Amino acid sequence: MLQQINELNERIEQLESRLAFQDDTIEILNQALTLQQQDLDKLRHQMSLLINRMKEMVVSQVASQSEETPPPHY
């Protein structure tokens, strides 16, 4: 009977140890995921700004081309 109790205590300790390790691992993964999400949000914002700038450049180039003098045959 005492041996069974000792075995159960040992199993409980092993399970507690595994649970603690898993909790630490989950926390580390959560922190990494949070940082990656922040980086992704920042990159999306930067990409949006770049797209808007490119659109503005295209519009300004089209506008400047339309303001050029007409070709000689006019």
pLDDT at residue 17 is higher than 90? yes
Look over the chain and give the mean of its residue pLDDT values, rounded to a whole number: 91
* Non-local CB neighbours of 42 within 8 Å, separated by 6+ positions: none
Predicted pLDDT at 19: 98
40-70 confidence digits (pLDDT tens): 999 999 999 999 999 999 888 877 776 666 6
Residue pointed to by tokens 């990656």 = 36
Model confidence at 9, in pLDDT bands (50, 70, 90)? very high
Mean pLDDT on 16-30? 98
pLDDT at residue 18 is higher than 80? yes
Token pair for 7: 């075995």
